[in-house]
Amino acid sequence: MRVRLLDLSEQYRALSEEIRAATEEVLSSQRFILGPKLKAFENAAAAYCGSPHGIGVSSGTDALLAVLMALEIGLGDAVITTAYSFFATGGSIARVGATPVFIDIDPATYNISAPALRGYLEKFCHPAEGKLVNENGQTIVALVPAHLFGLCCDMNEMLAIAREHSLILIEDAAQAIGADFPLASGPARAGAMGDAGCFSFYPSKNLGAAGDAGLVVCRNEQFAERLRQCRHHGMGAQYRHEFIGGNFRMDEIQAAILNVKLPHLDGWSAARREAARFYTNEFHRVGLDHKITLPVEPYASSGLTNHHIYHQYVIRTTRRDELRQYLADREVETAIYYPLALHEQPCFEYLAYQAGDFPEAEQAARESLALPIYPEIPRESQQYVVNCIAKFFS
Ligand SMILES: Cc1ncc(COP(=O)(O)O)c(C=O)c1O
């Protein structure tokens, strides 16, 4: 049996008429950039995330980049982020000229470790002239946690740390649209807890466009306006560029498609959670929970529906590469998110991190394996995956 890692064909079949109609509307209108579809999507998506302002952009990467540029973060600044994420989380910090400072992860959640972050701040940073300065004399200006695989970071801790050290808190929520978190002040959604939240609508994301697209949400109206300018080359009045931005605009066709899909997102997240529950129950039933490490649900007891939205279902084993090959031989697709921790990326050699600096991220990169998951995944396919894994370990 062939099991795809992700198969969105059923989703498209169900929505194809609506998607075609919405796309046709844009084509007929000949309004492709910064039009009504985008406005409608920005409003709906921001409301969905529980944030007052939404700014549609060209990708999740550009969401991060636009936020950093709009904040004028650059040379001499350092931005703290996780050592384990998609490249863009660290890459966008470097692209604005700032220095990414990596922090190890919590091995159970794969998200940035709050104790490790506190440890770094205590050991290597000191206040100087009202700023927080690190061991290299750089000013720590912002913190960019990433909510990996559909599970929020410990945002109570991230917010507390950001407040204690006056850091700007930018959430990389690319993989977590709609994920709920039990904040001490009340439940909140991914992206809406910090100063800005960045989303990706890359086609394989839980809410996927038909190409590249992204979104920033934020609370501050002035900052939202600055982001709107930033995505449009920093333009205020026509052809008057107040600051240097970029072409980071989401186009009307992507917005039209996302408008069709957004109302289905909660249903898809519920279906992903059901699929995850099936895997977890089956792995327990066949006794594999002692051989592989399963995903955790630290906020399940909060009662929040979307406490995990399972963008990915990631297991761990020291025999990862062997298992992956075994599954591939049996036509089960899997993926490794990510085979290298960020400090191990060749392009970050200049940061002079050493092997062993972030042992948990390094180990996750060697052991993690993402299994097929998507809302419509048939239970028989999942059963086949479990059976194959059971056979591998038998
Ligand atoms: C954690 C994370 N950050 C940033 C991005 C960048 O998003 P995009 O691919 O839309 O540029 C992605 C998605 O690929 C991601 O998973």
Degrees, nearest 5: CA angle 229-234-240: 110
Domain boundaries defined on the chain: 9-263, 264-393
Residue 342: how many other CB atoms lie within 10 Å: 26
Rounded Cα gap, residues 214 and 248, in angstroms: 9
* Ligand 1 centroid – CA 303 distance (Å): 28
For residue 200, CA distances in Å to 39, 89, 151, 208, 383 come to 17, 12, 15, 8, 30
* Ligand 1 centroid – CA 60 distance (Å): 5
pLDDT band at 314 (very low <50, low <70, confident <90, very high): very high
Which residue, by CA, sits nearest to atom 7 of ligand 1?
60
Tell me what pLDDT residue 92 has. Answer: 98
Tell me what pLDDT residue 261 has. Answer: 98
Closest ligand 1 atom to 92 CA: 4
For residue 307, CA distances in Å to 177, 187, 238, 345 come to 11, 10, 44, 31
Query: Tokens at residue 330, please?
Result: 């049996």
Selection from 86, 38, 48 nearest residue 64 by Cα: 86
The backbone region for 191, taken as left when phi is positive above 0, alpha when psi lies in -120 to 50, beta otherwise, is left
User: Within 13 A of 160's CA, how many CA atoms are on the CB side?
Assistant: 12
**Could you tell which of 202, 212, 231 is best to mutate to test the pocket of ligand 1, judged by most ligand atoms within 8 Å of the CB?**
202
First to last CA, the chain: 20
Q: What's the chain's average pLDDT? A: 98
Tell me what pLDDT residue 100 has. Answer: 98
Is 216 in contact with 54 (CB distance < 8 Å)?
A: yes
Tell me what pLDDT residue 386 has. Answer: 98
* Ligand 1 centroid – CA 213 distance (Å): 10
What is the maximal distance between C-alpha atoms in the chain?
Answer: 68
**Residue 194 in contact with ligand 1 by CB distance below 6 A:** no
* Ligand 1 centroid – CA 368 distance (Å): 18
Mean pLDDT of 276-287: 98
Q: Which residues contact 15 (CB under 8 A, 6 or more apart)?
A: 260, 261, 264
CA 147 to chain centre: 5
**Residue 90 in contact with ligand 1 by CB distance below 6 A:** no
**Residue 200 in contact with ligand 1 by CB distance below 6 A:** yes
Per residue in 95-154, pLDDT tens?
A: 999 999 999 999 999 999 999 999 999 999 999 998 999 999 999 999 999 999 999 999
Per residue in 154-190, pLDDT tens?
A: 999 999 999 999 999 999 999 999 999 999 999 999 9
pTM beyond 0.85:
yes
Per residue in 26-85, pLDDT tens?
A: 999 999 999 999 999 999 999 999 999 999 999 999 999 999 999 999 999 999 999 999
Query: Tokens at residue 286, please?
Result: 């066949």
- CATH topology match: 9-263 vs 264-393: no
**Residue 206 in contact with ligand 1 by CB distance below 6 A:** no
**Could you tell which of 200, 207, 251, 310 is best to mutate to test the pocket of ligand 1, judged by most ligand atoms within 8 Å of the CB?**
200
Tell me what pLDDT residue 72 has. Answer: 98
* Ligand 1 centroid – CA 198 distance (Å): 9
* Ligand 1 centroid – CA 204 distance (Å): 10
Per residue in 318-376, pLDDT tens?
A: 999 999 999 999 999 999 999 999 999 999 999 999 999 999 999 999 999 999 999 99
Closest ligand 1 atom to 88 CA: 4
The single residue listed with the structure tokens 């559909």 is: 150
Query: Tokens at residue 81, please?
Result: 């982020």
Tell me what pLDDT residue 273 has. Answer: 98
Per residue in 237-260, pLDDT tens?
A: 999 999 999 999 999 999 999 999
Tell me what pLDDT residue 37 has. Answer: 98
Tell me what pLDDT residue 204 has. Answer: 98
* Ligand 1 centroid – CA 16 distance (Å): 25
CATH of domain 9-263: 3.40.640.10
Mean pLDDT of 305-330: 98
**Residue 197 in contact with ligand 1 by CB distance below 6 A:** no
**Residue 212 in contact with ligand 1 by CB distance below 6 A:** yes
Query: Tokens at residue 66, please?
Result: 């636009």
**Residue 381 in contact with ligand 1 by CB distance below 6 A:** no
**Could you tell which of 6, 57, 61, 314 is best to mutate to test the pocket of ligand 1, judged by most ligand atoms within 8 Å of the CB?**
61
Per residue in 193-239, pLDDT tens?
A: 999 999 999 999 999 999 999 999 999 999 999 999 999 999 999 99
CATH of domain 264-393: 3.90.1150.10
B/e letters for 170-208, b = 16+ CB within 10 Å, e = fewer, are bbbbbbbbbbbbbbeeebbbbbbbbbbbbbbbbeebbbb
Tell me what pLDDT residue 9 has. Answer: 96
Q: Which residues contact 22 (CB under 8 A, 6 or more apart)?
A: 37, 256, 257, 259, 260
Residue 372: DSSP 8-state: P
> Can you tell me whether residue 368 is helix, strand or coil?
strand
CA 7 to chain centre: 20
**Residue 283 in contact with ligand 1 by CB distance below 6 A:** no
**Residue 85 in contact with ligand 1 by CB distance below 6 A:** yes
The single residue listed with the structure tokens 């600051």 is: 243
Tell me what pLDDT residue 124 has. Answer: 96
Per residue in 75-86, pLDDT tens?
A: 999 999 999 999
Tell me what pLDDT residue 327 has. Answer: 98
Query: In three state form, how does the secondary structure of 274-319 look?
Result: HHHHHHHHHHHHCCHHHCCECCCCCCHHHCCCCCCCCCCEEEECCC
